[in-house]
Amino acid sequence: MGHYVPHTDEEIAEMLAFVGVDSLEGLFETIPAALRLVAGDDGRYLDLPDGRSEADVLAEMGRLAAADPAAGLVCFAGAGAYDHQVPAAVRSLMFRSEFVTAYTPYQPEVAQGVLQMLFEYQTLISRLTGVGIANASLYDGATACVEAVNLAVAASKGRHRVLVSRGVHPHWRGTMATFARGTGHELVDVALSEDGTTAWPDAAGEGIGAVLVQYPNHLGVIEDLAAARACADAHGALLLVAGDPVSAGLLATPGSLGADVVIGEAQPFGTPLSFGGPYLGYFACREEHVRRLPGRLVGETVDVEGRRAYVTTLRTREQDIRREKASSNVCTNQTLIAVGCTIALSWLGTTGLRELALRCARATRYTREAVLAIDGVEAATTAPTLREFAVRLPLPAATVVERMADEGFLAGVALDESDYGDGLLVAATERRTRDEIDRYAQALEKVIR
């Protein structure tokens, strides 16, 4: 492997002399000796194996992958990450050399293709959400929620309390709580009603800057955004909606129902499950909040010859310009995943998106009916659901998930007992066939006996 080392001993010595140290170790003198790695007898700092051939490495990676059987299970899990079909065109186009780069397109003269793709992405997200401005992507749905709260608190002139529905994904709430310890924001939980919708309070005290709801919520229940809007208005707060982008094919857009900021996870469009990532957060808001928008924003202009051109715009919001005064600290973001999302949405079109949402809704309804027909299984909610649903089981949900894996199924996501009883969250996408659903119900009936 030595022929891959870029510098000779002489070049290394010359560079060390230039910076005024005698050895490589001298570069790390500021690190306490007790914390530094010490070279072994073989001169290595890390206990790494010798280099191996490509065939050997592939065989080893295959062996390690086989140790996790989840990839071979029929997936009925959702909770924010869904097993959708990724069109072959998406992978074929997004992995062209023009797009596969970690480079942020700050130089428009050499990045018109990527910038145009991001401009199209922003346009598509704006249409999906029903609000006017979308940025060029964030890391994931959880951090998009954090950014929405930051925007709302800034827009409300420092009102730091945020009403957060318990129907918002618990991992997203956990991420917001982590950030809140540093920002000083106070997250106020709002409980769910027995039917699964949020029980918004008439009055929650002073200092409310935002109201956050998920639509549909973590249990798949379709929330009443009019009630959430009324709660926000009663407190003079902004309404933040974490929306499911696939459900936009059937439901009214959050923007049309009064949302000020719409955020969420765009993984369903063009991104496989991939054992948890990388995924894609989307963020859209009304135009009056554009100067508080986090992340990059691509705009359309004309060049010196009058031709249409794309640039990153309103750059003074970004950390590389204003640092501590920036609206956020988004660095590499998820440009490549956003490219895949753009291709997938363009491939679907309006009709295709509606058909996708309908197929998911039909599969979910058929699965729900089959599961609730099993003795001992009860619905955890009564309000209308879309995308996924929660049930209560006669056994601990974690036990059922483990047993169902032996039957060839990823049965769903075990829910936190303190919130929803000993429940199981089940999702069915367009990939699930009637035969798979029937076999799933049969296996579930078997394992809970």
For residues 84 and 192, give the distance between their C-alpha atoms in angstroms, rounded to a whole number.
29
The CATH number of the domain holding residue 261 is: 3.40.640.10
Count of C-beta atoms within a 10 Å radius of residue 140: 26
Contacts of 408 (CB under 8 A, 6+ apart): 72, 73, 74, 443
The CATH number of the domain holding residue 435 is: 3.90.1150.10
> Do residue 130 and residue 34 come from a single domain?
no
pLDDT in tens for each of the 449 residues of the chain?
445 567 888 999 999 999 999 988 888 889 998 888 877 777 777 888 888 999 999 999 999 988 887 778 999 999 999 999 999 999 999 999 888 876 677 788 878 999 999 999 999 999 999 999 999 999 999 999 999 999 999 999 879 999 999 999 999 999 999 999 999 999 999 999 999 999 999 888 899 999 999 999 999 999 999 999 999 999 999 999 999 999 999 999 999 999 999 999 999 999 999 888 899 999 999 999 999 999 889 999 999 999 999 998 887 666 666 667 766 777 666 899 999 999 999 999 999 999 999 999 999 999 999 999 999 999 999 999 999 999 999 999 999 999 999 999 999 999 976 566 679 999 999 999 999 999 999 999 999 98
For residues 281 and 171, give the distance between their C-alpha atoms in angstroms, rounded to a whole number.
14
User: Is residue 57 domain-resident?
Assistant: no
> Do residue 40 and residue 97 come from a single domain?
no
The tally of domains found in the chain comes to 3
Write out the residue range of the structural domain in which residue 9 sits: 1-46
CA atoms within 13 A on the CB side of 391: 27
> Do residue 175 and residue 318 come from a single domain?
yes
Q: What pTM was estimated for this model as a whole?
A: 0.87
For residues 184 and 260, give the distance between their C-alpha atoms in angstroms, rounded to a whole number.
22
For residues 342 and 348, give the distance between their C-alpha atoms in angstroms, rounded to a whole number.
10
CB-count exposure of residue 197 (10 Å: 0-12, 13-18, 19+): buried
Closest-CA residue to 249 (of 352, 125, 123): 352
> Do residue 223 and residue 338 come from a single domain?
yes
* Residue that is last in its domain, among 313, 343, 373: 343
Q: What is the dihedral of CA 335, 127, 79, 231, to 10 degrees?
A: 120
Three-class HEC string of 256-310: HHCCCEEEEECCCCCCCCHHHCCCCEEEEECHHHHHHCCCCCEEEEECCCCCEEE
